[in-house]
Amino acid sequence: DVAYVNGVFTPLEDAKVSILDRGFLFADGVYEVAAVIDGRLVDNEAHLARLQRSLDALRLTSPAPMPEIVEIERALVSRNGIDEGLVYLQITRGAAERDFSFPNNARPTLVAFAQRKNILASPAAQTGVKILTVPDLRWARRDIKSVALLAQVLAKQAATEAGCQEAWMVDQEGFVTEGSSSTAFIITKQDAIVTRPNSTAILPGCTRRAVMALADQEGLSVEERPFTVAEAQEAAEAFLTSASNLVLPVVSIDGRPVGTGVPGERAKRLRAIYLNFARATAV
C-alpha cells in the first residue's frame, strides 16, 4: 500500500511523522474522510469545503492548495487500485519543540492514505446496526473535524463491548447529539425525518447534507430539531449517515427494537437514493 507524507508517496510501512508532531502531542490537527465508489471520490467538494473550515477554525494553513490535495487523493486511489473504499487526509500544525502556544516556524504536516472497504455490499446495510447510547463527553467545538477523538474512541469501544455497532452520544439535556462517527436520524410515526440542526454541538455531516437535500427532492418532510433517546426508541425508524457507510438502518437502541426491529423501508430507500446520487456525482 502506498501512502503520502509531506510531498512524498511512500510505502505505508515507511510513512512516518516525528514524535514531536503536534498532531501526536496535542491533537492539534484536522482530518477528512471521503468515500471512493467505482474508483471515484464521492461528494469530495463538500469534504474539502469542510476541511478548509476546520483549518480556518484552528488558524492552520494547508501546506498544499485544495486542487493539489485532490490530485493526492486521486493518486492514492489509482496507485492503490482502490475501487471501493475511502481516502483519509490529515493536516496538523507540524513538528516543533513542545510548547502549547503555536510555534513560529513549524511546517504543517499533511498525510494521506487510502483504504479498501465494502461500501455497496456492506453487511450492516442488510442487518441494520444496533446503537448504545453514552453521555457526550466532548468539548464545545464539535463542529470542527479535529483529530481529538478520544471521547469517540471510548464511546465506540463501549458500543462494541455491548455488542453494538455504533454509539449515539447524548447531551446533558438528554438529547442525542450524533454518533461517534456518524450523524443520527429518526423517522417519526407521522413520517417526518428528524435530525439535530447543525451547531457547535455536532459535526456538519456531508452525507447528512446530501441526504436531507435528496429527501426534500423526494417530497419527504425533514425536521431539524433535537430528539431524545426515548423519542428515538419510539420512532417508526432510525438510521445513521456517514461518508464511508452512506446510510445505515438502525434496528435497536439500548436493546430496545426500533419499529419492528428490522431495517426500515424508508431508511433502505434513502440508502438507495443516496447511492444513486453518490455514483452519479463521484469524480
State the catalytic residues: 145
Residue nearer to ligand PMP on the CB measure, 205 or 259: 205
Near ligand PMP by CB under 6 A: residue from 109, 146, 182, 195: 182
- 30's grid cell: 484536522
Region from 10-18, 70-78, 155-163, 200-208 binding ligand PMP, contact rule CB under 6 A: 200-208
Binding mask 161-180 for ligand PMP (x = CB under 6 A): -----------------x--
Please report whether residue 181 would count as binding ligand PMP according to CB under 6 A: yes
Of the candidate residues 29, 205, 226, 263, the single one contacting ligand PMP (CB under 6 A) = 205
Of 3, 203, 247, 270, the residue at the interface with ligand PMP (CB under 6 A) is 203
Contact status, residue 252 vs residue 258, Cβ threshold 8 Å: yes
Tell me the closest approach of the beta carbon of residue 281 to ligand PMP, in angstroms.
15
By CB under 6 A, name the one of 93, 208, 266, 271 that touches ligand PMP: 208
Regarding 242 and contact with ligand PMP (CB under 6 A), the answer is yes
The number of residues making up the chain comes to: 283
SS3 of residue 16 by DSSP? coil
Q: Which of 88, 67, 66, 62 is nearest to 1 (CA)?
A: 88
Nearer to ligand PMP, 119 or 243 (CB): 243
Shortest Å, Cβ 105 to ligand PMP:
31
Site for ligand PMP in 32-71 (CB under 6 A): 33
Contact at 8 Å (CB) between 18 and 66?
Answer: no
Q: Closest approach of Cβ 165 to ligand PMP, in Å? A: 14
* From 37, 159, 206, 258, residue interacting with ligand PMP (rule: CB under 6 A): 206
Choices 78-86, 98-106, 193-201, 235-243 (CB under 6 A): range interacting with ligand PMP: 235-243
Q: Report if residue 271 touches ligand PMP, rule: CB under 6 A.
A: no
Within a 13 Å sphere around the CA of 200, how many CA atoms are in the beta-carbon half? 5
- The count of residues interacting with ligand PMP (CB under 6 A) is 13
In the complex, the smallest distance separating the C-beta of residue 199 from ligand PMP, rounded to whole angstroms, is 13
Backbone angles phi, psi at 112, to 5 degrees: -155, 150
DSSP secondary structure letters along 72-119: HHHHHHHHTT-SSEEEEEEEE--B-SS-SSPPSSPPPEEEEEEEE---
- Evaluate the CA torsion angle 93, 96, 99, 101 in order and state its sign: negative
Question: Count of CB atoms within 10 A of residue 71's CB?
Answer: 12
Asked if residues 180 and 164 have their Cβ atoms less than 8 Å apart, the reply is no
8 Å CB contact between 109 and 91: yes
* Contact footprint for ligand PMP (CB under 6 A): 33, 178, 181-183, 203, 205-208, 241-243
